[in-house]
Amino acid sequence: MMPTTSAAPSSSPAAPIRETVRVELGDRSYDILIGTGLLDDPAAWAGLPKAQTAMIVTNTTVGPLYAARLQAALVPHYARVLTVELPDGEAFKDAATLERIYAALLGATCDRKTVLFALGGGVVGDMTGFAAACYMRGVPFVQVPTTLLSQVDSSVGGKTAINHPLGKNMIGAFYQPVRVICDLDTLDTLPERELSAGLAEVIKYGPIADADFLAWIEANIEPLRARDKTALAQAVKRSCQIKAQVVGCDERESGLRAILNFGHTFGHAIEAGLGYGEWLHGEAVGCGMVMAADLSARLGLMPAEFVARVRGLCERAGLPVVGPALGAERYLQLMQIDKKSEGGEIRFVVIDRLGSARMQGAPEAMVREVLAAHCAA
Amino acid sequence: MMPTTSAAPSSSPAAPIRETVRVELGDRSYDILIGTGLLDDPAAWAGLPKAQTAMIVTNTTVGPLYAARLQAALVPHYARVLTVELPDGEAFKDAATLERIYAALLGATCDRKTVLFALGGGVVGDMTGFAAACYMRGVPFVQVPTTLLSQVDSSVGGKTAINHPLGKNMIGAFYQPVRVICDLDTLDTLPERELSAGLAEVIKYGPIADADFLAWIEANIEPLRARDKTALAQAVKRSCQIKAQVVGCDERESGLRAILNFGHTFGHAIEAGLGYGEWLHGEAVGCGMVMAADLSARLGLMPAEFVARVRGLCERAGLPVVGPALGAERYLQLMQIDKKSEGGEIRFVVIDRLGSARMQGAPEAMVREVLAAHCAA
């Protein structure tokens, strides 16, 4: 264990870490660069699509920290580098904020070659990606995720979206970035709570795809929480590899890809029920994984020990493991409208053996038992 | 010549016409069915994607005429057939109207298998296609175009979009329908002016791709304006074939496909300058083609006779051939923001020989000459 506290903002003291994960999607394939000091490494920014204009999309929290350095990295490649700063938070992942990106692009007469750069977490990435998918029917975009959650989750796989008053991520597109650049140094400024939320998605990849990785996370949860760069690089790399493999087999989520939503059906209900932004997405997913693990056990697929193991690891990661007291009716109603509900039946991602997941329906009575066991009264 | 006036709404008196044009786009290939009486022919509606719910998107003009018959055609295949009626007109092709489609879908708890049916002209088709592209990141949709323009143009090629206050079709997606069903009988209720607007796009395919087709249109312009079904079937079929061939070579408009925009750079400026909806899209394109033909002549690519020929045919089709008096500065400014402007240079689709088009820049002074020659003072 080698805890690293905040390095000087523009350099990394140790030997730089350089990892690459390739996402294979035919002519939409791209690289995920993972490392330290990437914002200041010219090699990371070479070879991107050429254009007159680059537009950095960021938010009021991340912009002041990193936009100037990204700007400096892009100036050698684009005649104009513009920045649009959005309000920070899931509550602003909506049509009105999306419109601000369009207005900035059109106001600056940006053409269809303009390259967008998403500098921030999942909300910035989802909105920038969706804006890129739709602006003039598609312009290239680059993800520069600055949260652990977006580095291991939303930056991989091309799912972009905004929320709708009637449901989360209801309006969006499958649209791939041309590159993802994960500078691990940006995680130094991440609040503790958001680091934990990111770890929820890291943990997820264990039960659904890799029992050894689950054991590795259990052995390395302290270095990860202490932001040890070597541990983080390994966690981000393995998470991206697993997600890239799943997405490569099922880009448009017709089947296999749904396993990435382990914990998400319960989790989305928590987020929607409390109002977006009350719990962080990763927190809701962490708690949702505990519920989904319990459902797997009640369905007879996994032993009771598995539930304790998932709950224990989530707790050590600093995640909440007791759902809010929304009432079972409200949970069921919210899960019904969730987009994984097809033809009226609620389907869940369940674990059928360690490292393997599948979609399955469950009797409503059993879902109520799970909710009763894991939600506050 | 066999003029056919409005047939009984639910049947066609003559032997039914059946033509099919295949659009080859790999796993996004689809058929365009062209014929009479298709709304009432069960064969036209068989084999579409299965789902619990079908949603007909139409407008307040077309809905009362044909929605009930489309509903009847779909009821055997879907447990629920819902309808959402939008206000009619280009002025409503915006984010607010798009939101009405999303609200209808979410309000009815429509899932990600829901099939959308666009019943109407280009505006309904563009908005329904874009809504289908984005709703839950993509649901299937079927085009049922009821105007000549949408049958020969917007129903083929997967370009969907809405307008933005700062530009036409600026926000959209390339998204293919699973089928297009062109019932020629629906053209019986089309206002004269809209029939002419559709003929503008039919005429377009001659100069850019098929000299023989241009001659055929010149020989058949009266039967076409009289809505002779045999002539219309031929015009729609050949137009769709040409467009399908171009789109098949260049789905995402990286090069060749741009030739389909012959007349559109000038045309979009007319539409935007007057305010969307003042002139019909096809009217603006018709007038724009005369200007683009003149530009081709001034560039030395075509003889002066060609300009007279395009203008003459547009006049016989009932189209305006003199542009509105916006002033040259305004025209140039509007063409600058048009999405075919890349890196600041305005590029035009020009004809280099009959049946062949290419993209080319032109000196500003020459563009001003064209505007002076073809616009009202």
Same domain, A244 and A122: no
**Contact, B240 vs B145, CB < 8 A?**
no
User: Which pLDDT belongs to residue A257?
Assistant: 87
For A149, A156, A282, the CA distances from A182, given in Å and listed in that order, are 11, 11, 18
- Chain B neighbors of A172, CB-CB under 8 A: 134, 136-137
Same domain, B208 and B161: no
Report ipTM (2 d.p.).
0.86
Query: What pLDDT, in 10s, does the model give residues B42-94?
Result: 999 999 999 999 999 999 999 999 999 999 999 999 999 999 999 998 889 99
Query: Are A173 and B137 within 8 A, CB to CB?
Result: yes
User: Which pLDDT belongs to residue A342?
Assistant: 52
> For residues A214 and A202, what is the distance between their CA atoms, to the nearest angstrom?
9
For residue B5, being part of any structural domain is answered with no
Among A146, A167, A189, residue at a domain's last position: A189
| Nearest residue to B112 (alpha-carbon basis) of A333, A251, A331, A338 | A338
Among A113, A126, A134, A166, the strongest candidate for a mutation testing the B interface, having the largest count of B CBs within 10 A, is A134
Query: What pLDDT, in 10s, does the model give residues A318-350?
Result: 999 999 999 999 999 998 865 444 555 688 999
Query: Are A173 and B52 within 8 A, CB to CB?
Result: no
Min mean pLDDT across A3-12, A24-33, B186-195 is at A3-12
Same domain, A108 and A242: no
A114-143 burial by CB neighbour count: b if 16+ within 10 A, else e?
bbbbbbbbbbbbbbbbbbbbbbbbbbbbbb
Q: How many domains does chain A have?
A: 2
For residue A5, being part of any structural domain is answered with no
Query: Are A167 and B106 within 8 A, CB to CB?
Result: yes
Among B189, B207, B235, residue at a domain's last position: B189
Instruction: Assess whether pLDDT exceeds 50 at residue A65.
Output: yes
Beta bridge partners of B345: B342
**Contact, A159 vs A246, CB < 8 A?**
no
**Residue A122 annotated as lining a ligand binding site:** yes
- Chain A neighbors of B344, CB-CB under 8 A: 52
For residue B74, being part of any structural domain is answered with yes
Residue-range definition of the domain harbouring residue B286? 192-374
Instruction: Assess whether pLDDT exceeds 60 at residue B12.
Output: no
User: Which pLDDT belongs to residue A155?
Assistant: 75
For A23, A215, A233, A282, A306, the CA distances from A211, given in Å and listed in that order, are 22, 6, 19, 21, 12
**Residue B91 annotated as lining a ligand binding site:** yes
Q: Can you tell me the mean pLDDT for A183-188?
A: 98
Same domain, B99 and B153: yes
Same domain, A182 and A280: no
Query: What's the Rg (C-alpha) of chain B?
Result: 20
Burial of B43 (0-12, 13-18, 19+ CB in 10 A): exposed
Query: Are B171 and A102 within 8 A, CB to CB?
Result: yes
For A288, B238, B331, the CA distances from B245, given in Å and listed in that order, are 49, 11, 32
**For chain B, percent of residues with pLDDT exceeding 70:** 94
For residue B202, being part of any structural domain is answered with yes
Same domain, A173 and A311: no
Catalytic residues of B: 137, 159, 201, 243, 253, 257, 261, 264, 268, 281
Backbone angles phi, psi at B9, to 5 degrees: -60, -25
Active site residue A257: yes
User: Which pLDDT belongs to residue A330?
Assistant: 95
Instruction: Assess whether pLDDT exceeds 60 at residue B261.
Output: yes
Strands A141-145 and A115-120: parallel
> For residues B113 and B128, what is the distance between their CA atoms, to the nearest angstrom?
15
Categorize the per-residue pLDDT at A6 as very low, low, confident or very high, splitting at 50, 70 and 90.
very low
- A66-72's contacts with Cβ under 8 Å and 24+ in sequence apart are A66/A39, A66/A119, A66/A146, A66/A186, A67/A119, A69/A9, A69/A10, A69/A39, A69/A40, A70/A39, A70/A117, A70/A119, A70/A144, A72/A40
For residue A119, being part of any structural domain is answered with yes
- Residue A258 DSSP code: G
Q: Can you tell me the mean pLDDT for B251-272?
A: 88
**Contact, B16 vs B35, CB < 8 A?**
yes
Query: Are B342 and A112 within 8 A, CB to CB?
Result: yes
Q: 10 Å Cβ neighbour count for B49? A: 15
SS3 string, A293-317, reads HHHHHHCCCCCHHHHHHHHHHHHHC
Same domain, A292 and A200: yes
Min mean pLDDT across A50-64, B6-20, B230-244 is at B6-20
Q: Can you tell me the mean pLDDT for B192-198?
A: 97
User: Which pLDDT belongs to residue A45?
Assistant: 98
Query: What pLDDT, in 10s, does the model give residues B264-298?
Result: 999 999 998 998 778 998 999 999 999 999 999 99
Portion 321-360 of A in contact with B at CB < 8 A:
336-337, 339, 341-344
Amino acid at B343: G
For residue A227, being part of any structural domain is answered with yes
| Nearest residue to A282 (alpha-carbon basis) of A193, A344, A172, A362 | A193
User: Which pLDDT belongs to residue B339?
Assistant: 47
What is the DSSP track for A153-215?
IITSS-EEEEEETTEEEEEEEE---SEEEEEGGGGGGS-HHHHHHHHHHHHHHHHHH-HHHHH
For residue A9, being part of any structural domain is answered with no
Instruction: Assess whether pLDDT exceeds 90 at residue B340.
Output: no
Mean pLDDT of chain B: 92
Backbone angles phi, psi at A118, to 5 degrees: -90, 105
**Residue B123 annotated as lining a ligand binding site:** yes
Min mean pLDDT across A107-116, A152-161, B146-155, B336-345 is at B336-345
Same domain, A148 and A267: no
What's B160's domain CATH number? 3.40.50.1970
- Chain B neighbors of A134, CB-CB under 8 A: 134, 171-173
| Nearest residue to B17 (alpha-carbon basis) of B152, B185, B143, B155 | B185
What's A223's domain CATH number? 1.20.1090.10
User: Which pLDDT belongs to residue A345?
Assistant: 66
> For residues A70 and A82, what is the distance between their CA atoms, to the nearest angstrom?
11
Query: Are A111 and B136 within 8 A, CB to CB?
Result: no
Mean pLDDT of chain A: 92
Min mean pLDDT across A122-131, A228-237, B12-21, B181-190 is at B12-21
Same domain, A211 and A160: no
Same domain, B34 and B51: yes
Same domain, B180 and B90: yes
Active site residue A253: yes
For residue B359, being part of any structural domain is answered with yes
Chain B contact for A255 (CB, 8 A cutoff): no
> For residues B118 and A148, what is the distance between their CA atoms, to the nearest angstrom?
42
Instruction: Assess whether pLDDT exceeds 60 at residue B6.
Output: no
Portion 145-204 of B in contact with A at CB < 8 A:
159-161, 164, 166-167, 170-174
Among A168, A189, A210, residue at a domain's last position: A189
Interhelix angle A264-274/A328-337, rounded to 10 degrees, is 110
Q: Can you tell me the mean pLDDT for A292-310?
A: 97
Beta bridge partners of A172: A161
Query: What pLDDT, in 10s, does the model give residues B87-113?
Result: 998 889 999 999 999 999 999 999 999
Same domain, A201 and A80: no
Query: Are A171 and B134 within 8 A, CB to CB?
Result: yes
A-B Cβ pairs (cutoff 8 Å, strict)? 90
Burial of A348 (0-12, 13-18, 19+ CB in 10 A): buried
Helix, coil or strand: residue A222:
helix
Instruction: Assess whether pLDDT exceeds 80 at residue A369.
Output: yes
